[in-house]
Chain A
Amino acid sequence: MTAHYLVLSGLLFAIGAMGVLIRRNAIVVFMCVELMLNACNLAFVTFARQNGNLEGQIIAFFVMVVAAAEVVVGLAIIVTIFRTRRSASVDDANLLKY
């Protein structure tokens, strides 16, 4: 009965990806990425259950740590940008192109 979980994780991942594409606010975009990571976690845990070994669950913990680190870096960058530009919109930052 693990299929549902996989579907759910798939949905979450898709939602996250869509969010990245649709939302403008950098923070929100970033949260969507986090959502994708968590979708992965769900998948891992599910598969761990399915395969009957613990690796997946352990991986989940690793991912959380990594995600946390990512948050630190990410927020730092976004905040700096916000301070300089007074806007957190991803689209405002497009001096670099072509």
Chain B
Amino acid sequence: MESPVEIVQHTAGGVIGVSWLMIAFPLLGAAILLILGRKTDRWGHLLGVAMSLASFVVAVLAFVELLGLSAEQRRQAVHLYEFIPGMADMGLLIDPLSISFALLITGVGSLIHIYSIGYMSHDPDRRRFFSYLNLFVAAMLLLVLADNYVGLFIGWEGVGLASYLLIGFWQFKPSAAVAAKKAFVVNRVGDFGLLVGMFIMWSATGTFAFAELSEKAGSLSQPMVTAIGLLLLLGACGKSAQLPLQSWLLDAMEGPTPVSALIHAATMVTAGVYLVVRSGAFFFPEGSAQALAVAIVGAATLLAGAIIGCAKDDIKKGLAGSTMSQIGYMMLGAGLGPAGYAFAIGHLITHGFFKADMFLGAGSVMHGMNDEVDMRKYGALRKYMPITFVTFIIGYLAIIGFPLLSGYFTKDGIIETAVEHNQVLGWLAVIGAGITGFYMSRMIFMTFFGEKRWAEDAHPHESPTVMTVPLIVLSIGSIFLGGYLILSNRLMLWLAPAVGRPEELPTFHFASTPGLATLALVAVGAVYAWMKYGRAEVPAVQPRGSFLTTFARRDLYGDALNESLFMRPGQWLTRIAVFFDNRGIDGVVNGLAAGIGGTSGRLRRIQTGFARTYALSILIGAALLTGALLLVGNI
């Protein structure tokens, strides 16, 4: 799609000129903490927070500067240096889209940094934790700020690495190590798609830069564009845990809770959405095969995630399921073209707030309950950790789309646009909203209401201020942000220079059919949850559920599927290959040697030691010689 506004090479100095500082600060922090190592244990976490805040400040300033420019000026490319001569340059693209992400990443990121000071206070490796967090922030910023796919890919893998390191932060737990590896490998499947997509771009256009690509994309043949789109979608699926590459996200909860909040809820997992929106040129026109694919993947995942969310007793896994589902909404939105982009990004931002809010809340709960994650061992906690309770409730209301809270606006936006574009997907999204209502309410009731079901040694208490403050800030965001962004299309207009905009701006109706339907379903879900978990007694051990329940508990058999489709055959293939290499190829080589040796061993027996035998051989030789000569002579 022709991006409406040309990218202008940034000339004037100002903050945008030094916007690379955004990346540099946390990178520097990570480097210092990793290189100096234990020496920094005492103040390491503070440095981490400082660096993250610093880059937040830069982001804000750049944002302000960008606001100062006219809409036509709001795509500033900052050239850093020549990366691969003739192929790709290192450069940043500061435009509404990227800066919005930068704000989210650094803002929420900083809050989570602060929160972690408290959360990780007892961990001997807190310094290492912060170095990884900083590394993540830097990589994530490179991902969203880069002005070409190579730069984006570096960031893309950088966040993958950070996620790998943080999921496996408690690597002495085998489960954590495995989860980390799984996350990385599954992501690599997506990267494969992204890579091949880039091959095609290069061979077709000879560039990786967003600017040139969006110009040349129009001139490419339709099949080629479709191919690129689908391959990019594969990449997005990997990063954003969309079907069919969703399986890693639930295991990723092995990581410390702040990680789940920052990486696996607020920012990294949404990179897929960013990729799709940023690559709008290859998902154009809306309704094209690849765009439709995006929407379908989104719809499918939002249902799958929701269903999984219903069956989890592990509070973090429950939240992870809902994350999947919410990102499904964003994907759905992103699949609808410019009309949906604004809502997708909007939901992405608000989700960043309320999901982070709830994860941190969950973390705060675990903090109080000796890292217990099983909701069946919770209950009645509202009295013991009020702040956590309130903030969590706000997040909850936001996510189920309680009117006038953030989630309400953004999610509704997506649903309505979806219904306009594609009835089926739209109504599926509505259903998904209903399920969301159920499983989130279930979580609330099991955690904060009902009877105590604690372990003996549990002494729940409110978390320290350093943890509660971020909760409060986030919950405030969860309340107001959505309305601010969506009403009067602020976000859409703001993003327009970057991602374009539909011809006529949508107007938000508070009483649209899908909207009301959504509210109704959510209410139903919530009530059902209350009857099942609020009013009724929650069994301390998981009861054998119906087929559907088991189906959900097993993550829709995603792992089983991967295992039987890829892991097992892969292991067999490996064994066969190794055997073939040792016995087959090497066997031939050694066999050859042995063969020559054997021949030699047999031949030397001819040397009998009897002089007369030798004489005979001479005579025979003479005969042969004569015969040969006669033969050759007669030829």
- Residues of A with Cβ closer than 8 Å to B? 17, 20-22, 24, 29, 90-91, 93-98
> Is there an interface contact between B608 and A94, defined as CB atoms closer than 8 Å?
yes
Count of A-B contacts judged by CB separation below 8 Å: 32
Contacts of B609 in A (CB 8 A): 94-98
Contacts of B607 in A (CB 8 A): 97-98
Bound-complex Cα distance A24 to B607 (A): 18
> How far apart are A80's CB and chain B's nearest CB, in angstroms?
16
> How far apart are A29's CB and chain B's nearest CB, in angstroms?
8
Given that A98-B604, A98-B605 are known contacts, is A90 also in contact with B619, CB under 8 Å in the complex? Answer: no
> Is there an interface contact between A21 and B608, defined as CB atoms closer than 8 Å?
no
A-B contact pairs, 13 of them (CB 8 A): A17-B619, A20-B615, A21-B612, A21-B619, A29-B612, A90-B611, A91-B611, A94-B610, A95-B609, A97-B607, A97-B609, A98-B604, A98-B609
Given that A21-B615, A21-B619 are known contacts, is A91 also in contact with B610, CB under 8 Å in the complex? Answer: yes
For the complex, is B576 an interface residue (Cβ under 8 Å from A)? no
For the complex, is B616 an interface residue (Cβ under 8 Å from A)? yes
Contacts of A97 in B (CB 8 A): 607-610
> Is there an interface contact between B616 and A21, defined as CB atoms closer than 8 Å?
yes
- What are the 3 tightest A-B residue pairs by CB atom distance, in nearest-first order? A97-B609, A94-B609, A98-B604
Contacts of A29 in B (CB 8 A): 611-612
Contacts of A90 in B (CB 8 A): 610-612
> Is there an interface contact between B619 and A91, defined as CB atoms closer than 8 Å?
no
> How far apart are B447's CB and chain A's nearest CB, in angstroms?
88
Q: Which residue of A lies closest to B603 (CB)?
A: A98
Main secondary structure of the interface of B (DSSP, over half): helix
> How far apart are A84's CB and chain B's nearest CB, in angstroms?
16
> How far apart are A51's CB and chain B's nearest CB, in angstroms?
23
> How far apart are B620's CB and chain A's nearest CB, in angstroms?
10
Within 8 A of A (CB), among B577-635: 604-605, 607-612, 615-616, 619
Bound-complex Cα distance A29 to B616 (A): 13
Contacts of A98 in B (CB 8 A): 604-605, 607, 609
> How far apart are A92's CB and chain B's nearest CB, in angstroms?
10
Contacts of B616 in A (CB 8 A): 21
Bound-complex Cα distance A17 to B622 (A): 12
> How far apart are B444's CB and chain A's nearest CB, in angstroms?
91
Contacts of B608 in A (CB 8 A): 94, 97
Contacts of B605 in A (CB 8 A): 98
Q: Which residue of B lies closest to A26 (CB)?
A: B611
Given contacts A17-B619, A21-B619, A93-B611, 14 further A-B contacts (CB under 8 A): A20-B612, A20-B615, A21-B612, A21-B615, A21-B616, A29-B611, A90-B610, A94-B608, A94-B610, A95-B609, A97-B607, A97-B608, A98-B604, A98-B605
Contacts of A21 in B (CB 8 A): 612, 615-616, 619
Contacts of A95 in B (CB 8 A): 609
Bound-complex Cα distance A17 to B610 (A): 16
Bound-complex Cα distance A24 to B605 (A): 21
> How far apart are B261's CB and chain A's nearest CB, in angstroms?
80
Contacts of A17 in B (CB 8 A): 619
> How far apart are B448's CB and chain A's nearest CB, in angstroms?
92
Bound-complex Cα distance A24 to B615 (A): 12
Contacts of A22 in B (CB 8 A): 612
Bound-complex Cα distance A17 to B619 (A): 8
> How far apart are B608's CB and chain A's nearest CB, in angstroms?
6
> How far apart are A20's CB and chain B's nearest CB, in angstroms?
5
Q: Which residue of B lies closest to A92 (CB)?
A: B610
Bound-complex Cα distance A40 to B615 (A): 18
Bound-complex Cα distance A96 to B614 (A): 12
> How far apart are A40's CB and chain B's nearest CB, in angstroms?
14
Bound-complex Cα distance A17 to B620 (A): 11
Bound-complex Cα distance A69 to B609 (A): 27
> How far apart are A81's CB and chain B's nearest CB, in angstroms?
11
Contacts of A24 in B (CB 8 A): 612
Bound-complex Cα distance A94 to B611 (A): 8
Within 8 A of A (CB), among B139-165: none
Bound-complex Cα distance A95 to B611 (A): 11
> How far apart are A39's CB and chain B's nearest CB, in angstroms?
14
Bound-complex Cα distance A20 to B612 (A): 7
Bound-complex Cα distance A37 to B49 (A): 108
Contacts of A93 in B (CB 8 A): 611
Contacts of B610 in A (CB 8 A): 90-91, 94, 97
Q: Which residue of A lies closest to B616 (CB)?
A: A21
Contacts of B604 in A (CB 8 A): 98
Bound-complex Cα distance A24 to B613 (A): 11
Bound-complex Cα distance A91 to B610 (A): 6
Q: Which residue of A lies closest to B606 (CB)?
A: A98
Bound-complex Cα distance A29 to B610 (A): 13
> How far apart are B611's CB and chain A's nearest CB, in angstroms?
5
Q: Which residue of B lies closest to A33 (CB)?
A: B615
Bound-complex Cα distance A98 to B606 (A): 7
Bound-complex Cα distance A65 to B616 (A): 27
Bound-complex Cα distance A3 to B609 (A): 39
> How far apart are A11's CB and chain B's nearest CB, in angstroms?
16
Q: Which residue of B lies closest to A95 (CB)?
A: B609
Q: Which residue of A lies closest to B619 (CB)?
A: A17
B604, B609, B616: residue with the most chain A Cβ atoms closer than 10 Å: B609
Bound-complex Cα distance A61 to B604 (A): 42
Bound-complex Cα distance A94 to B607 (A): 10
> How far apart are B627's CB and chain A's nearest CB, in angstroms?
16
Bound-complex Cα distance A97 to B607 (A): 6
Contacts of B619 in A (CB 8 A): 17, 21
Bound-complex Cα distance A56 to B607 (A): 38
> How far apart are B600's CB and chain A's nearest CB, in angstroms?
11
Contacts of A91 in B (CB 8 A): 610-612
> How far apart are B607's CB and chain A's nearest CB, in angstroms?
5
Bound-complex Cα distance A97 to B260 (A): 80
> How far apart are B554's CB and chain A's nearest CB, in angstroms?
71
Q: Which residue of A lies closest to B609 (CB)?
A: A97
> How far apart are A65's CB and chain B's nearest CB, in angstroms?
24
Q: Which residue of B lies closest to A22 (CB)?
A: B612
Bound-complex Cα distance A93 to B605 (A): 17
Bound-complex Cα distance A97 to B604 (A): 8
> How far apart are A28's CB and chain B's nearest CB, in angstroms?
12
Bound-complex Cα distance A98 to B605 (A): 5
